[in-house]
Chains A and B, each alone.
Chain A
Amino acid sequence: MAEFVRLDSSTSRHTMDKSITLPPDEIFRNLENAKRFAIDIGGSLTKLAYYSTVQHKVAKVRSFDKATKEAASDKLYEISVQEEVTARLHFIKFENAYIETCLDFIKDHLVNTETKVIKATGGGAHKFKELIERKLGLKVDKEDEMTCLIKGCNFVLRNIPHEAFVYAKHADSEFRFQTTQPDIFPYLLVNIGSGVSIVKVESEDKFERIGGSSIGGGTFWGLGALLTKTKRFDELLQLASKGQHTSVDMLVKDIYGGSYGSLGLTGDLIASSFGKSATADKEFSKEDMAKSLLHMISNDIGQLACLYAKLHNLSRVYFGGFFIRGHPVTMHTITYSINFFTKGEVQALFLRHEGYLGAIGAFLKGYITYSRWRLPGSRAMYGCG
């Protein structure tokens, strides 16, 4: 969950209906004031966004009137608590399996009758369109997925300090956060979902999908499932993190007995992914195959990203999509690949709120506001489903 509040407000308190199994006080807050819904339904996760007004107390200070000062106290000024209404953005992420429960909950708590439409994006938007319309009684208004993604990305890069970070597995601190750049453009966004989209973003409204690849998260998942009979993505990553790719991959030294010096290839370099399984008559462990697959895909994406970055002269490359989202394993392999292919010239950057980009964008699409926003409380980076 992420919440954004308009910069003139602060945190608040509110009450939840106790009859519902969803955790009170924690999810779908401020629904009673909610308006402007947006939903981003991906392959496995749903991201919901809405806008609420929060009525909350603020402490105000006021100088005593000159006239009454002496009479009241010797304090410099007086403190009074007042009610103030501020705007807040709410983003919630949960697994697609819970979508019906969530829609019911929202319906029950939605009191604002002005809301007529819900902005929707993501590959699942058309699949769940009918359900949403039926449950919520709102018209689903589909927004272009890529436009939403970019809008959301621009929004977080602009509004959240330390949004972007570099991942360094073996460093003292794994996450090295980047300071916000005065100008966030241009940048390259590599979105690794089922497949890969490589998008060049030049300004708030100008972006272009300059490339892509069919070898993405879906390939890791799909091939991984076929090779290891493991159906869950997370489990596949777990397997991969325990495997040894060298038993499956053919290395430069496996062919040449060592490095291939004249071409600058070290002996440990992977010459051929899965090269050993072509001729070896043996069983390979699930872990090793998963690891080899992970390397293969991460390296490939890293290489493509570098080539597109070079070709378009871009130095900031952000990675997102479910393949990356919250997975130190893939952040590490992608970072490794980028370092290898650019010899350190380009850094792989990741985003704290990458999972919300589509939902944020869809929300913004409907209700463009150029107010500045900030993050109220700091929530766990990889929490909320």
Chain B
Amino acid sequence: MAEFVRLDSSTSRHTMDKSITLPPDEIFRNLENAKRFAIDIGGSLTKLAYYSTVQHKVAKVRSFDKATKEAASDKLYEISVQEEVTARLHFIKFENAYIETCLDFIKDHLVNTETKVIKATGGGAHKFKELIERKLGLKVDKEDEMTCLIKGCNFVLRNIPHEAFVYAKHADSEFRFQTTQPDIFPYLLVNIGSGVSIVKVESEDKFERIGGSSIGGGTFWGLGALLTKTKRFDELLQLASKGQHTSVDMLVKDIYGGSYGSLGLTGDLIASSFGKSATADKEFSKEDMAKSLLHMISNDIGQLACLYAKLHNLSRVYFGGFFIRGHPVTMHTITYSINFFTKGEVQALFLRHEGYLGAIGAFLKGAEEDNPNQYSWGENYAGSSGLMSVSPDMNPMQRARSGTFPFDMLEMDRLERQLVNLPLLQDPSSYIPDTMDLTEDALAREYWLYCFEEALDGVVKRAVASQPDMPEAAERAEKFRQKYRHKLQTLRHQPFAYGSLTVRSLLDTREHCLNEFNFPDPYSKIKQNENDIALKYYQKAVKSLEELSWEERQFALVRGVLAGNVFDWGAKAVSDVLESDPEFGFEQAKRQLEERPWLVDSYDQWLERLRGPPHKCALFFVDNSGVDIILGVIPFVRELLSRGTEVVLASNSGPALNDVTNGELQILTERIAAMDPVIQAGLREDRLTLVQSGSSSPCLDLSRLDKVLAQVVRERQTDLVIIEGMGRAIHTNYYAMLSCESLKMAVIKNSWLADRLGGKLFSVVFKYEVPAGKPSQGSAAVTPS
């Protein structure tokens, strides 16, 4: 068993030049493998993009050779840690003032000599052209600004879940994130820089600037500076946020004494911006004038945007540009304006990574030979700063943390597989994977953040224990702890940092951080061990099931899946038991289960359905290794196969907690096939298929699944989807509406959640659903035709 043969830590690689104040390990990561640079220089911020290859550890499982098996060990399979090279996109944003320092730093660390050009865009590109060429020795290759912006926008809309959000100042959560749309086109992009550009985007390569306005961010800034003698844009916004526009603006009621009812104008409506300053002989406060100016400009842009949207029949309108970027004040006024002018028909949408669009686009232009758009990309929570990380008034703490150099980062990993929607979603555009949005539920947020913080010690311990031969594992684990704890702290203050805060995003962030510090699969050995043990009981379990009557067996199979699902290292209540009592057995788990009627109980309908004709094909999203998969799921699958139903087993592509991975499941099914003719026949006749989900998360996002899975589901005419486990069926997908029959099974292994759902620890959710309008096959069987 080779494990971490080469001592390697990405964190120790950077030797920093001490004369530079850039924070090591945090900015310009992986520069030594960097290639394909792109830079977007705006009026005040520089955005740099590059592509790197990241070498990191992955845990692989492999069956022992038959020949050497007896000699080697009694283990089912061996685990080897291998080096894998994956692609990553890095985006860094910093103030133009630091551009020289940054270029020097890059030059010093850039070892890849293949890089000859740097793609550049943005208004500042031609100003800094010479500096860049001199410092980096790269040729600056200018790209069209608007093309880059649109390319970048398409990219983030397609690849980053919860990229777009609606801003609601007075709501419980200011940011309401939108789920990714299956088709992002067409949309309107309103870019508010110095002026305003209004662009209609119809497809990846087709866009048109359909309008614009000279009244934009530069007008706010310029007029604001003249009126208030305040030169800084941020300060002007600050002034505005404190002012009263009614002292400067002439309202409808100032003219008519009240509302103008017959025209539908309320008294508070602004009739004339700055109308009072025309005749009043008095001084106006800076704050009031700034506020009036802000309203004037926001309302004007909002109205124009609405008119263009209507004229071109577009309902999705995204706003960007420095006027908007990271400024709740302007997001609020623009939102207000759009609501006013469209009477709520159109929502103003904003983007989390709006500041990076130009840089992303310029990068993509330069990387066309790599076909970046052929892949799916995922936001790396470990390496990304999150929304408003450096906004001066939002988070002074974070600004101080990075010392003298405030910056913001985004990292995206190239996923091995292209991700698509599950074809069986009833309405992909309204599908929301997560059951609970913690950004909107302060109590739940408090609990889960606490819960993850509490569990951190255990995770660190587990991570260290998984690499006993690595002396520096403890040090890395400590870095992991710091990083994840910092993420949790950030999320406490800015729950919106990475889109909607959910249990899933907390889990995924933890996985990303673990990977970051080279703990690719802390549970690999535990899983291996549990798989070994469970497998020994397989035949006995199957035999005892076969002795039961049909009806008894159906119930026992369901109870088996549920009891198996109790074995979960991801749940604190259970991991404590497993830790202290390794013999915690399958039978004991069954005794822990709630008696019927369960918390959610449609078992009777399920049983009724089973009396009917068999399903054509079932898609089963599996959960944990060990007892869960081997003694719970496989017997259940076996029964489906026996009924004549084809089964597609979907498991994670990469490791997450003790979830069974596709690699492990392949070995397990082979082993089981060797002792079970039903499984063997299933595999041989291609009625039992294993597919990857495309995910490495303990949860499940049905809108981002492996393309192959989607293809198989379609080909097999899948008419039943089974989702198992708390992560996939409760934290996510509890409310997911499918276009075919579905079965969601889980045991609630968290007392807080149980309480929330009105149950108790080890309550059972057994949710069998038939889509509305589709008569269940079962009832059809009751009245045979």
Q: Which residues of A contact B289 (CB under 8 A)?
A: 226
- Known: A249-B214, A271-B214, A311-B311. Is A215-B300 also a contact (CB below 8 A)? yes
Asked if B250 is at the interface of the complex by the 8 Å CB criterion, the answer is yes
- Known: A226-B227, A274-B218. Is A146-B263 also a contact (CB below 8 A)? yes
Q: Which residues of B contact A304 (CB under 8 A)?
A: 303-304, 307
Residues 259-307 of B at the A interface (beta carbon under 8 Å): 262-265, 270-279, 281, 284, 289, 295-296, 299-300, 303-304, 307
Q: Which residue of A lies closest to B252 (CB)?
A: A195
B 188-229 to A, binary, CB cutoff 8 A, 1 in contact else 0: 000001110100000000000101111111110111111100
Give which listed residue, A223, A249, A255, A272, contacts B277 with CB less than 8 A. Answer: A223
Q: Which residues of A contact B219 (CB under 8 A)?
A: 272-275, 296
B 218-256 to A, binary, CB cutoff 8 A, 1 in contact else 0: 110111111100010100000000000000111000011
Q: Are A257 and B126 in contact (CB under 8 A)?
A: yes
How many Å from the CB of A194 to the closest CB on chain B? 4
Cα distance A272–B195 when bound, in Å? Answer: 4
Q: Are A276 and B144 in contact (CB under 8 A)?
A: no
Q: Are A277 and B307 in contact (CB under 8 A)?
A: no
- Known: A227-B227, A262-B146. Is A209-B304 also a contact (CB below 8 A)? no
Asked if A144 is at the interface of the complex by the 8 Å CB criterion, the answer is yes
The interface on chain A, measured as residues whose beta carbon lies within 8 A of the other chain's beta carbons, has a size of 60
Q: Which residues of A contact B222 (CB under 8 A)?
A: 248, 250, 272-278
Q: Which residues of B contact A147 (CB under 8 A)?
A: 262
Cα distance A317–B184 when bound, in Å? Answer: 37
Asked if B396 is at the interface of the complex by the 8 Å CB criterion, the answer is no
Asked if B372 is at the interface of the complex by the 8 Å CB criterion, the answer is no
Q: Are B262 and A146 in contact (CB under 8 A)?
A: yes
Q: Which residue of B lies closest to A276 (CB)?
A: B222
Q: Are B303 and A211 in contact (CB under 8 A)?
A: yes
Q: Are A263 and B194 in contact (CB under 8 A)?
A: no
Cα distance A171–B445 when bound, in Å? Answer: 70
Cα distance A1–B303 when bound, in Å? Answer: 38
Give which listed residue, A212, A272, A308, contacts B218 with CB less than 8 A. Answer: A272
Asked if A32 is at the interface of the complex by the 8 Å CB criterion, the answer is no
Q: Are B250 and A274 in contact (CB under 8 A)?
A: no
Asked if B758 is at the interface of the complex by the 8 Å CB criterion, the answer is no
How many Å from the CB of B291 to the closest CB on chain A? 13
Asked if A141 is at the interface of the complex by the 8 Å CB criterion, the answer is no
Q: Are A126 and B215 in contact (CB under 8 A)?
A: no
Asked if B308 is at the interface of the complex by the 8 Å CB criterion, the answer is yes
Q: Are A263 and B146 in contact (CB under 8 A)?
A: yes
A 262-294 to B, binary, CB cutoff 8 A, 1 in contact else 0: 111100001111111111000010000100000
Q: Are B214 and A273 in contact (CB under 8 A)?
A: yes
Asked if B123 is at the interface of the complex by the 8 Å CB criterion, the answer is yes
The interface centre, meaning the residue of B211, B214, B262 with most chain A CB atoms within 10 A of its CB, is B214
Q: Which residues of A contact B213 (CB under 8 A)?
A: 299-300, 303
Q: Which residues of A contact B270 (CB under 8 A)?
A: 195, 214
Give which listed residue, A219, A249, A256, A284, contacts B275 with CB less than 8 A. Answer: A219
Q: Are A225 and B123 in contact (CB under 8 A)?
A: no
Give which listed residue, A218, A262, A276, A307, contacts B274 with CB less than 8 A. Answer: A218
Q: Are A278 and B221 in contact (CB under 8 A)?
A: yes
How many Å from the CB of A266 to the closest CB on chain B? 12
Q: Which residue of A lies closest to B197 (CB)?
A: A263
Q: Are B123 and A300 in contact (CB under 8 A)?
A: no
Cα distance A138–B231 when bound, in Å? Answer: 56
Cα distance A270–B299 when bound, in Å? Answer: 20
Q: Are B273 and A218 in contact (CB under 8 A)?
A: yes
Q: Which residue of A lies closest to B124 (CB)?
A: A255
Interface of B is mostly: helix
Give which listed residue, B218, B275, B295, contacts A275 with CB less than 8 A. Answer: B218
Asked if B257 is at the interface of the complex by the 8 Å CB criterion, the answer is yes
Q: Which residues of B contact A250 (CB under 8 A)?
A: 194-195, 218, 222
Q: Which residue of B lies closest to A224 (CB)?
A: B278
Cα distance A233–B277 when bound, in Å? Answer: 12
How many Å from the CB of B233 to the closest CB on chain A? 8
How many Å from the CB of B212 to the closest CB on chain A? 8
Give which listed residue, A194, A231, A289, A311, contacts B272 with CB less than 8 A. Answer: A194
Q: Are A195 and B271 in contact (CB under 8 A)?
A: yes
Asked if B310 is at the interface of the complex by the 8 Å CB criterion, the answer is yes
Q: Are A222 and B209 in contact (CB under 8 A)?
A: no
- Known: A214-B273, A215-B296, A263-B146. Is A144-B262 also a contact (CB below 8 A)? yes
Q: Which residues of A contact B144 (CB under 8 A)?
A: 262
Asked if A123 is at the interface of the complex by the 8 Å CB criterion, the answer is yes
Q: Are B218 and A273 in contact (CB under 8 A)?
A: yes
Cα distance A296–B126 when bound, in Å? Answer: 28
Q: Which residues of A contact B123 (CB under 8 A)?
A: 255-256
Q: Are A307 and B218 in contact (CB under 8 A)?
A: no
Cα distance A382–B385 when bound, in Å? Answer: 63
Cα distance A320–B607 when bound, in Å? Answer: 76
Cα distance A304–B147 when bound, in Å? Answer: 27
Q: Are A299 and B303 in contact (CB under 8 A)?
A: no
Q: Are B226 and A284 in contact (CB under 8 A)?
A: yes
Cα distance A233–B197 when bound, in Å? Answer: 32
Q: Which residues of A contact B197 (CB under 8 A)?
A: 263
Q: Are B277 and A222 in contact (CB under 8 A)?
A: yes
Q: Are B226 and A274 in contact (CB under 8 A)?
A: yes
Q: Which residue of B lies closest to A263 (CB)?
A: B209
How many Å from the CB of A130 to the closest CB on chain B? 13
Q: Which residues of A contact B214 (CB under 8 A)?
A: 249, 270-273, 275, 295-296, 299
Cα distance A276–B256 when bound, in Å? Answer: 38
Give which listed residue, B209, B216, B295, B303, contacts A213 with CB less than 8 A. Answer: B303
How many Å from the CB of A322 to the closest CB on chain B? 11
Residues 638-653 of B at the A interface (beta carbon under 8 Å): none
Q: Which residues of B contact A249 (CB under 8 A)?
A: 214
Q: Which residue of A lies closest to B216 (CB)?
A: A272
Asked if A221 is at the interface of the complex by the 8 Å CB criterion, the answer is yes
Cα distance A214–B296 when bound, in Å? Answer: 7
Cα distance A193–B222 when bound, in Å? Answer: 25
Q: Which residues of A contact B277 (CB under 8 A)?
A: 222-223, 225-226
Q: Are A277 and B225 in contact (CB under 8 A)?
A: yes
Cα distance A144–B225 when bound, in Å? Answer: 40
Give which listed residue, A216, A217, A255, A310, contacts B311 with CB less than 8 A. Answer: A310
How many Å from the CB of B210 to the closest CB on chain A? 11
Cα distance A310–B227 when bound, in Å? Answer: 36
Q: Which residues of B contact A193 (CB under 8 A)?
A: 272
Cα distance A214–B245 when bound, in Å? Answer: 12
Q: Which residue of B lies closest to A251 (CB)?
A: B214
Cα distance A209–B265 when bound, in Å? Answer: 10
Q: Are A311 and B273 in contact (CB under 8 A)?
A: no
Cα distance A226–B286 when bound, in Å? Answer: 11
Q: Which residue of A lies closest to B227 (CB)?
A: A226
Q: Which residues of A contact B262 (CB under 8 A)?
A: 144, 146-147
Q: Which residues of A contact B211 (CB under 8 A)?
A: 303
Q: Which residues of B contact A272 (CB under 8 A)?
A: 193-195, 214, 216-219, 222
Q: Which residues of B contact A227 (CB under 8 A)?
A: 223, 226-227
How many Å from the CB of B222 to the closest CB on chain A? 3
Q: Are B226 and A307 in contact (CB under 8 A)?
A: no
Q: Which residues of A contact B248 (CB under 8 A)?
A: 222
Q: Are B278 and A218 in contact (CB under 8 A)?
A: yes
A 188-224 to B, binary, CB cutoff 8 A, 1 in contact else 0: 0000011101000000000001011111111101111
Cα distance A233–B255 when bound, in Å? Answer: 18
A selection of 16 A-B contacts at a CB cut-off of 8 Å is A126-B256, A146-B263, A219-B273, A223-B273, A227-B223, A248-B222, A255-B123, A262-B147, A272-B195, A273-B214, A273-B215, A273-B222, A278-B225, A284-B226, A296-B215, A300-B213
Chain B positions within 8 Å of A, measured between CB atoms, are: 123, 126, 144, 146-147, 193-195, 197, 209, 211-219, 221-227, 231, 233, 248-250, 255-257, 262-265, 270-279, 281, 284, 289, 295-296, 299-300, 303-304, 307-308, 310-311
User: A209-B263, A295-B214 are known contacts; what are 6 more A-B pairs with Cβ within 8 Å?
Assistant: A194-B275, A222-B277, A263-B197, A273-B223, A274-B223, A275-B194
- The 7 A-B pairs with the shortest beta carbon distances in the complex, nearest first, are A218-B272, A272-B218, A222-B274, A274-B222, A218-B275, A275-B218, A194-B272
